Amino acid sequence: MHASTSRRRFTAPLALASMAGVASMSSVASAQFGGGGGGGASTFVWIIVGIVVLVGFFVFIFLLQFLSLYVQALTSNASVGLLDMVGMKLRKVDIRTVVINRIRAVKSGMDIPTNALETHYLAGGRVSNVVSALIAARGARIELPWATATAIDLAGRDILEAVHTSVNPKVIDCPAPTSPRATIDAVAKNGIQLKAKARVTVRTNIARLVGGATEETIIARVGQGIVSTIGSAEDHKHVLENPDEISRTVMRSGLDAGTAYEILSIDIADIDVGENVGAKLQADQAQSNKQMAQAEAEKRRALAVAEEQEFKAQEQKNRALVVLAEAEVPKAMAEAFRSGNLGIMDYYRMKNVQADTSMRDSIAGEGKPPAGGNR
């Protein structure tokens, strides 16, 4: 930027000087050939020559900004034509990015056309990132065509990081550090909870990078496999004794299918014993059963109380009927006296029987007077 600014500062005085020179040349020519018709023709010729020289000077100044990159590409056997640079300038392409990355590609043994680099730049791709990835892949003997690399880059994936992961596999923590849970919790068949942490070593599968699932899918599948393996164990002690069995079981599940990675290994980093979930569930079930039994007993007690109240009401009803029946006895006796069916001696004998009965009851300890004793 500073070089182009200083170049513009120097080119402005040069342009003025050239215009002054052309004007002086035309005036001298007109002075020398100032007479007659031949002098007018010569003046016109000199004016044309001056205009051509001036236009050529401005063209030279315009092309001078590309000269450095042109010479740099030419000396690197990665030549880029001046007209190509002019076209990129008009299409608002970063010429330095295209030229420098073409030089890098040629120096690495790849002849990537200028048009391909320009096309990827105009498509919104990261040209430097793609070229760096191609250079790294070539050094690692990984087959990565230009079309595949640009497609991955335009898909939003970091192709350079993918190549680095293919060369140097990375380790994924399971669960992820940003997860709300610090461990993967699972319960064995005997009810004991186990808390596990795993480390998954993966490398990028470039062929499945476009459209393949990301790290989150790998973490979820590995967690699912660990939970399933621990849950199928008869005893938690067996899992504690053989944690590598979890790794072997999960690896056989083919968890990397449809993902952008290839799982190299799954290692159990830590496994601890948690709560006795089975006992807790049994205690909760017993408490629930107790509450159900208490509710059922309370229901039966309420039914018994209601039935008792019904019996008491029935008793009161029957007593009322007895009282009503006893009230009819004097009426019946009076009617018997009137009709002559009962004599006075019969009445006193009945009273004596009642008195004897009352005496026997009092001797027996009942102490209850006869029903009609007061009458």
pLDDT at 9: 35
| One domain for residues 108 and 47 | yes
Residue 173 and residue 158 share a domain:
no
Q: Has residue 153 been placed in a domain?
A: yes
End-to-end CA distance of the chain: 137
Same domain assignment for residues 175 and 227:
yes
**Same-domain check for residues 113 and 229:** no
In a domain, 33, yes or no: yes
Query: Is residue 60 included in any domain, yes or no?
Result: yes
Q: Is the pLDDT of residue 3 over 60?
A: no
Do 82 and 61 share a structural domain? yes
Residues 147, 80 share a domain: yes
Same-domain check for residues 43 and 14? yes
pLDDT reading at 26 higher than 50: no
Mean per-residue pLDDT over the chain, rounded: 80
The CA distance from 101 to 119, in Å, is 13
**CA separation for the pair 158, 128 (Å, rounded):** 12
- Model pTM score: 0.57
Q: At what angle do helices 146-154 and 114-122 cross, to 10 degrees?
A: 10
- Give the pLDDT confidence score for residue 366 in this predicted structure: 54
Which of 247, 280, 313 represents a domain boundary (last residue)? 280
Same domain, 6 and 109: yes
Of 237, 255, 280, the last residue of a domain is 280
Whether 154 maps to a domain, the answer reads yes
Are 232 and 250 in contact by the 8 Å Cβ rule? The answer is: no
Residue 47 has pLDDT above 70, yes or no: yes
Residue 132 has pLDDT above 90, yes or no: yes
pLDDT band, residue 6 (cuts 50/70/90): very low
Residue 130: is its pLDDT beyond 90? yes
Domain-located, residue 249? yes
> What's the pLDDT score for residue 8?
36
Q: 98: domain range?
A: 2-162
Same domain, 102 and 52: yes
Decide if 258 is inside a domain.
Answer: yes
The CATH code of the domain that includes 254 is: 3.30.479.30
Say if residue 123 is in the same domain as residue 210: no
User: Do 129 and 67 fall into the same domain?
Assistant: yes
How many structural domains comprise the chain?
Answer: 2
For residue 326, what pLDDT band results from cuts at 50, 70 and 90? confident
Helix (H) or strand (E) holding 22: helix 2-32
User: Could you say which of 94, 129, 162 is where a domain stops?
Assistant: 162
Give yes or no: residues 80 and 120 share one domain: yes
User: How would DSSP label each residue in 299-364?
Assistant: HHHHHHHHHHHHHHHHHHHHHHHHHHHHHHHHHHHHHHHHHTSS-HHHHHHHHHHHHHHHHHHHHH
Q: Domain for residue 320, yes or no?
A: no
Is residue 175 situated within a structural domain?
A: yes
Q: Is the pLDDT of residue 62 over 80?
A: no
Greater confidence (54 vs 93) lies with 93
